[in-house]
Amino acid sequence: MSARYVLTIIVLAVAAISSWYLAGIERAPEVTQTISDTDFGGFYLRTARILGTDDSGQLLYEIEAEYAEQTENNEIELQNVRINYSSDANVPWVINADVATISDSMSLLRLSGNVQAISNEGFGGQETEIRSSVLEIDPGNYQAETDSRVQIRIGSRSLTATGMLALLQENRLKLKSNVSGKFVP
C-alpha cells in the first residue's frame, strides 16, 4: 500500500465521520406524542345508511347521509340527510336536512339547516311541504316536533306558525302559536 492510498482512506473516513456528526447536530428534535384516555377514537363514514326496524325486524325507515361521524359525547352527526319511511309503515313522508344529530339513546334525531318534509299524500290528501330551521324527529313513533318557526304549504294554502307537532302516520298537525295563513279558494 502506498502512502497516498492510506492518506485517501483516512481523509474519506474523517469526512464520513464528520458528516455523520454534523447530521446528528442539525437533526430536528424528535416529536413524541403521548396517548391518554382523553383522546377520542370515534368513527366516521362516507355515504352512511341507517335502517330502523320494528321488534319483528320489519323495515320502518331508512336514514341516508353523505357523511356520518361519532362525536365525543357518543352522538352521531350526519350531513346531507334524507329520511324515507318504508311503504309498509304507511308514512308517505320524505324528510331532508343539512345536518342531523342522533341522540346517544338512538331514539331522537335533531335536524337542522334547511329542514324540509314533503308528502304527496300529506294533510288533507294534498301535496304538503313543511319547512323549518330545526326539527326533532322520533322516527319510530312517526312524530316530528319543533318550537321554532315553521312554514307549511298544503296544496295552494300556506301557513306559518311558531312550534308544531306533526303525527306523520296519522297525517295530523298541531300548530302551537302565532299561526297565520293564506287560503286561496
pLDDT digits (tens, 9 = 90+) for 82-99: 999 887 778 888 999 999
Residue 112: closest CA among 130, 135, 94:
135
Q: Pick out the chain residues at pLDDT < 70.
A: 1, 6, 20-41, 106, 123, 183-185
Domain-wise residue ranges, the chain: 44-182
DSSP letter (8 states) at residue 10: H
Helices (H), the chain: 3-26
Q: Which helix (H) or strand (E) holds 64?
A: strand 59-70
> Within its chain, how far is the Cα of 162 from the centroid?
25
Cα(82)–Cα(100) distance, integer angstroms: 9
pLDDT confidence of residue 36: 46
Strand 94-102's sheet: what is its strand order?
Answer: 44-53, 59-70, 76-85, 94-102, 109-119, 128-138, 143-154, 157-167, 172-182
Give the domain 44-182 fold. lipopolysaccharide transport protein A fold (2.60.450)
Residue owning grid cell 324515507: 84
Cα(152)–Cα(165) distance, integer angstroms: 12
pLDDT confidence of residue 88: 77
pLDDT confidence of residue 27: 52
pLDDT confidence of residue 71: 85
Q: What is the pLDDT of residues 131-159, one digit of tens each?
A: 999 999 998 888 999 999 999 998 888 89
Provide the 10 A C-beta neighbour count for residue 153.
17
Residue 61 is placed in which grid cell?
325507515
